[in-house]
Amino acid sequence: MGLYLIGDVQGCDDALARLLAKVAFSPSRDRAILLGDLVNRGPASAAVLRRLMALDGAATCLLGNHDLSLLAVAHGLHAPHGNDTMDSVLDAPDREAMLHWLRHQRMALHEHGLLMVHGGVLPQWDLARTLELAGEVEAVLRGASHVEFLAKMYGNEPAKWDDSLAGADRLRLIVNALTRLRFCTPEGEMRLKGSGGLDDAPPGTLAWFDVPGRRTAGVPIAFGHWSQLGLLLRDDVIALDTGCVWGGCLSALRYDPATGSREVVQVQCEQAQVPGD
């Protein structure tokens, strides 16, 4: 069996098809785990969703900020940005099937010794806590109150975790950490407006995975979301958003759980978007 972790696709179905072909992906033999931002900004979001849905149990997908944005826009709860490209889903005859499938995907996953998220993990959270909190959001997204949740999802506050948080504030913070986090203070206060690479950290902050004493230290974590960080392969940090939709590559990591071996496979993408979130 081949296990492939795949970075942000963002509606680039041609690149995804070429990547799967390059590794000779077989749904009967192999497994793909996509690290979120399946849709938006690229030209073929609906085709990406249909391809992944057809893979059924051979593909597991995490939700990124663009995927959640699609759900909010589809319910009329958020206006699309000027460079959003969601219409192929919103206008599709199978729109409801795609949206239903999307909100049943994962916020975090722990398999084969790897913790996988789209954005990041707060330093106050250990592995068990991260999965528990991700499960809270997953349950709401899959339930009858998902529209109410999506209506209150946007905002940058609260910026720091507290066990006493409840309701919309609690869920919003969990979503922001798991799908948008790049930089935070050593105390775990998020700076969600920060972008750029590691040298561009806002004053008093550092990359979430470089916070001293974070409680997931020693747990290998794979994530996407951070195209300006690019490919990063450390023993316990695997970053796989290599800016496919911004004219970079779509990257996959072939991972052997038995030996821990890693091999990066990439295909060039030919989009011309301006880098952003």
Parse the chain into domains and list their residue ranges.
3-268
Average pLDDT across the chain, whole number: 95
CA distances (Å), 16 to each of 7, 60, 159, 166, in order?
10, 14, 34, 38
Tokens encoding 45: 């979001």
Q: Which residues pair with 12 in a beta bridge?
A: none
Tokens encoding 50: 């249909």
Q: How far is the first Cα of the chain from the last one, in angstroms, to the nearest whole number?
A: 33
pLDDT over 70 (residue 277): no
Mean pLDDT across the stretch 86-111?
A: 98
Roughly what angle, to the nearest 10 degrees, separates helices 45-55 and 13-22? 40
Each residue of 3-54: pLDDT tens digit? 999 999 999 999 999 999 999 999 999 999 999 999 999 999 999 999 999 9
Q: What is the pLDDT of residue 114?
A: 97
Q: What is the pLDDT of residue 274?
A: 46
CB 47 within 8 A of CB 85: no
| Confidence (pTM) | 0.96
Closest by CA position to 268, among listed 240, 238, 243, 233 = 243
CA distances (Å), 234 to each of 17, 215, 231, in order?
27, 17, 10
Q: What is the pLDDT of residue 271?
A: 64
| CATH number belonging to domain 3-268 | 3.60.21.10
Q: What is the pLDDT of residue 275?
A: 47
Q: Residue 50 corresponds to which amino acid?
A: R
Tokens encoding 205: 């902050």
Residue 260 pLDDT grade (very low, low, confident, very high; cuts 50, 70, 90):
confident
Q: Residue 132 corresponds to which amino acid?
A: E
